[in-house]
Structure 1
Amino acid sequence: MLSYIVRLICCGAAVYFMPAILSKIYVTDFTTAIIVAFVMSILNTFVKPILQILSLPITIITLGFFYLVVNVAVVYFCSYLVPGFSVDGFLQPLIFGFILSIVNSIVAGLQD
């Protein structure tokens, strides 16, 4: 449980500093960033696998590129659920998802 909280805080910090890098991402404060990190973890655990299974034929036809659309859809769904967090465009949420995934992987690797 403690490792999850540490990962959540580190990902929340990444979300909080992301608007400095990406212009179309908006986060109001650090509490909102922590909530975004929590909601993203819930969505990546429960919603994203369902979307991946439902979009499997399209993903196969597009040689895996539709998987990027699923990632962006999860970020947009998070922005819909969390007030104080907004995204715009396609490329910015895609980069946001990649950076958040990389930070999560680094923190998980450091905890092992």
Structure 2
Amino acid sequence: MKVIIKVLVVAAALWAATQWVDGISVDTTDTTRQVGTLLVVALIFGVINAVLKPIIKTIGCAFYILTLGLFALVVNAALLLLTSWIAERLTVPFHVDGFVAAFWGAIIVGIISWLLTLILGDD
């Protein structure tokens, strides 16, 4: 149940990013397909975060310390770009146009996910 809620939270955060950031898009007009696409992208993003983020944190520990954690924004942007690349390879209609869009999208996804987790609870 916890995993389903987390996927729904990330999907909602990704939807907000598609609305607020130019360069992040779901290339379908059908609402049902948009929801399905966002859920698939949230799953991809979750798997990428679960697998790669701990490795990157371990390897890039010095950068996290030197930048007081701001390096995490760069890592999250790169992971969002990787998510877009994988989604395109799987023919999922989700696209991020470059690092700047990914950077702002990662900030929005992070903030919205944090707020929704506060509201819904993590348990």
**How far apart in 2 are the matches of 1:72 and 1:16?**
16
Structure 2 gap ranges (5+): 28-33
TM-score, L = length of structure 2: 0.73
**How far apart in 1 are the matches of 2:12 and 2:77?**
20
* Structure 1 ranges of 4+ moved more than 6 A: none
Structure 1 gap ranges (5+): none
Q: Is the 8 A contact 2:16 2:109 kept in 1?
A: no
Instruction: For 2:86, give the aligned amino acid.
Output: L
Q: Is the 8 A contact 1:7 1:107 kept in 2?
A: no
User: Taking structure 1 as reference, are residues 59 and 6 closer, same or farther at Cα in structure 2, changes over 3 Å only?
Assistant: closer
- 2:46 counterpart (41, 61, 72): 41
Q: Give the deviation of 1:56 after TM superposition.
A: 2.4
**How far apart in 2 are the matches of 1:109 and 1:66?**
24
Q: Give the deviation of 1:6 after TM superposition.
A: 2.9
User: Taking structure 1 as reference, are residues 66 and 14 closer, same or farther at Cα in structure 2, changes over 3 Å only?
Assistant: closer
Aligned Cα root-mean-square deviation (Å): 2.2
**How far apart in 1 are the matches of 2:64 and 2:25?**
29
User: Taking structure 1 as reference, are residues 50 and 33 closer, same or farther at Cα in structure 2, changes over 3 Å only?
Assistant: same
User: Taking structure 1 as reference, are residues 107 and 65 closer, same or farther at Cα in structure 2, changes over 3 Å only?
Assistant: closer
Per the alignment, residue 11 of structure 1 pairs with 10
Per the alignment, residue 20 of structure 2 pairs with 21
Identity %: 28
Q: Give the deviation of 1:88 after TM superposition.
A: 1.8
Q: 1:76-95 counterparts in 2 under 5 A? A: 76-83=81-88, 84-95=93-104
Deviations 1:62-92 (A, max 9, x none): 5544333211111111111113221123222
**How far apart in 2 are the matches of 1:111 and 1:10?**
9
Q: Give the deviation of 1:59 after TM superposition.
A: 4.0
